[in-house]
Structure 1
Amino acid sequence: MEPRAGRTATTFRGLGLLLALGALVLVGLLSIWVGTRGIAFTDTWSALWHPDGSETSVVIHDYRIPRTLLGVLVGMALGLSGALMQALTRNPLADPGLLGISLGSSAGVVVALAFLGVGSVLGYVWFAFAGAAVASVVVHLLGSAGRKLATPDRLVVAGAAVTAVLYAFNSAVLLLKPKAFDQFRFWTVGSLSGRSFDVLHVVLPFIAVGLVIALGLAPSLNALAMGDQVGRALGVNVGRTRVLGAVAVVLLCGAATAAAGPIGFVGLAVPHVARFVVGPDQRWVLAYSMLLAPVLLVGADVVGRVLGSPGEVQVGIITAFLGAPLFIALCRRRKLVML
């Protein structure tokens, strides 16, 4: 009976994954159709498949499609990095900003704006990614100081310390450079608007590599969930898994934050939804997080366009309003445990 029950559970999980994929396709089409400028669905569908250089076609192909694809990529990256962080640290409240990645990206953008005169998204995306990488390396070095391996608790403490320092640095520079603050505040709210295919091309390789690494670590993460000693007994190289996991988080969250700015609650709440649906198996948690997170992010972007019409409400604000109640509901419904 147990093998049959296992096959049934796998079948339902697979069907749920297909439903999540269908929901992602649906919100993607809505994102291409719905915008601050009203375009009939038939005209949108025609321009989508038969671009003719008209104004409608330009809006669809030059603005809405890149925005939608970037939303999908950023959502996948945030969902996977959040699930990975929670698994690596065995902390259900961990999110992609735990290792100082979000503040590291912010520091990179602040440096680019305040001292180097870089003002375009395509220009400071590289500085944001570099800032995330440097912050993560510093956190790992601090967390492993005096030891061979960085333990989850030490990484969390090191991440909190680096985050505090970076926050102070950003605040000091922006107070002294009002012009840089005017530009920075549009990035820090979290937005998908104004991003072209060029930004998409910059972050795509990093997110793709991070995605492959994260999914490949799923079996090892299942073993580590029972503790480092049990993981070693099962043949898992704990140090290698943690280092690769940290690299994946930097690639995923660093690229996502560089492209769209810091977007909260997606990487924190979505893995809990995934675990609520499929249980603690990291293979399924990572797969579901990879699909449910972009559904939330792209859907929130559509909601922001509808609520703010004829302007728009930035997606970072909408995800906070949607993600916070969802996370509170999950906290009340069940204990936040990793097993």
Structure 2
Amino acid sequence: MTAVRADRAPEAALVRRPARTRILWLLAAVLLLAALMAASVALGSRDVAWSDVWAALGGADRTLGQAAVAKRIPRTLLAVLIGAALGVSGGVMQGVTRNPLADPGILGVTMGASLCVVTAVAFFGLTSPTGYIWVAMAGAGVSAAFVYTVGSLGRGGATPLKLALAGAATSAAFASLVSAVVLPRNDIAGGFRLWQIGGVGGASYERIGQVLPFLAAGFAVCLLCARPLNSLALGDEIAAGLGERVALVRAVAALGAVVLCGASTAVAGPIGFVGLVVPHACRLLAGVDHRWLLPFSALAGASLLTAADVAGRVVARPEDIEVGILTALVGAPFFIHVVRRHKVREL
């Protein structure tokens, strides 16, 4: 009887949500994402009639409206993929570190990926899009390891507050180094200026095809770690008592999150706060069970980034506001709210 109870301990400790309620919310999230994707291909600097949308979906590009839709389709798909990747990455990082402030941007992972890409382009002549992805993932991994090591120093180990402070300091330092590398190089400064803000405006089917295998691998690793992350939420000692290899689970889950963050940054630039806002919002609907939380985070992250992209095209017509700016406007107040709710002295 004791063994049975131990096996069920992770589920028993989770905040319960009826399966029917979760499924209904999941269907609602799918419908919301579908509606936002439809709005993304129809709205922009030029509104397009639905007849042109349907014609463009069939491959037509004879009119200006159909040509506009043909360009918006890959942009929409990229926003969905990047938003889902950042949402899942944030949820996994919060689970691995048990840190409510964890986010690829706040922990310095995003800027580590950015610095490596910029350095490789400026000093080593990197031009391969696939090479960008590999370099960005390497930079994200090194940055994550560095921040965790620094945050683990001293009494108490890697507390949420120490990780957040180490990540913020590392992110600020890396951002300064990125500027120091880019500014003297007029040949690359123009292209990287928009990339540094974060956006999906340069989407194409080719870029989606290049990043898709990496994102698929990252999603697979993260989802496979969902159940062990539930055990980690109970504490390392209890998780080990339940048969989990704590260090291995933490390393593999972090690897999946780093792959998602690094690949996303290589293609769309450093987009912040999606990984912070989305998991917190999804816990209200799905509870803290990562087997539900991660799929919810994928859908919600995709919806948030798609909505931000649509808003950026509509608000400043005929110009675009990059999604990185809009997610920062949403995420910065939310970050302050999380800090105030959990209280710094309790983190």
State yes or no: 1:176 paired with 2:184: yes
Report 1:88-99 matches (<5 A): 88-99=96-107
Change in CA separation of 1:47 and 1:291 when aligned onto 2, cut-off 3 Å: same
Q: Give the Å deviation of 1:263.
A: 0.9
| Deviations 1:8-34 (CA, angstroms, capped at 9, x unpaired) | 711001110110011111101111111
Q: Give the Å deviation of 1:297.
A: 0.5
Question: Which residue does 1:284 correspond to in 2?
Answer: 292
Q: Give the Å deviation of 1:328.
A: 5.2
State yes or no: 1:202 paired with 2:225: no
Contact 1:109 1:184 (8 Å CA) reproduced: no
State yes or no: 1:25 paired with 2:28: no
Q: Give the Å deviation of 1:97.
A: 2.8
Give the TM-score normalised by the residue count of structure 2.
Answer: 0.83
In 1, distance between residues paired with 2:338 and 2:177? 35
In 2, distance between residues paired with 1:324 and 1:141? 26
Contact 1:92 1:336 (8 Å CA) reproduced: no
Correspondent of 2:49 among 25, 40, 47: 40
Count the aligned residue pairs.
Answer: 328
Q: Give the Å deviation of 1:102.
A: 0.8
Contact 1:121 1:195 (8 Å CA) reproduced: no
Structure 1 stretch displaced more, 186-195 or 92-101? 92-101
| Deviations 1:104-150 (CA, angstroms, capped at 9, x unpaired) | 221123224422455796774554344324434555677789xxxx9
Question: Which residue does 2:193 correspond to in 1?
Answer: 185
In 1, distance between residues paired with 2:27 and 2:336? 27
Contact 2:148 2:158 (8 Å CA) reproduced: no
Q: RMSD between aligned alpha carbons?
A: 3.2
In 1, distance between residues paired with 2:232 and 2:135? 34
Question: Which residue does 1:77 correspond to in 2?
Answer: 85
Structure 1 stretch displaced more, 188-197 or 158-167? 158-167
Contact 1:28 1:298 (8 Å CA) reproduced: yes
Q: Give the Å deviation of 1:217.
A: 1.1
Gaps of 5+ in 1: none
Report 1:112-151 matches (<5 A): 112-117=120-125, 124-136=132-144, 138=146
Report 1:1-339 matches (<5 A): 9-48=18-57, 50-55=58-63, 56-61=65-70, 63-117=71-125, 124-136=132-144, 138=146, 159=167, 162-163=170-171, 165-326=173-334, 335=342
2:303 aligned counterpart, secondary structure: helix
Gaps of 5+ in 2: 1-11
Contact 2:100 2:338 (8 Å CA) reproduced: no
Contact 1:272 1:330 (8 Å CA) reproduced: no
Contact 2:133 2:262 (8 Å CA) reproduced: no
Change in CA separation of 1:41 and 1:120 when aligned onto 2, cut-off 3 Å: farther
In 2, distance between residues paired with 1:304 and 1:120? 29
Give the TM-score normalised by the residue count of structure 1.
Answer: 0.85
Q: Give the Å deviation of 1:187.
A: 0.4
User: Taking every aligned residue pair, what percent have the same amino acid on both sides?
Assistant: 45
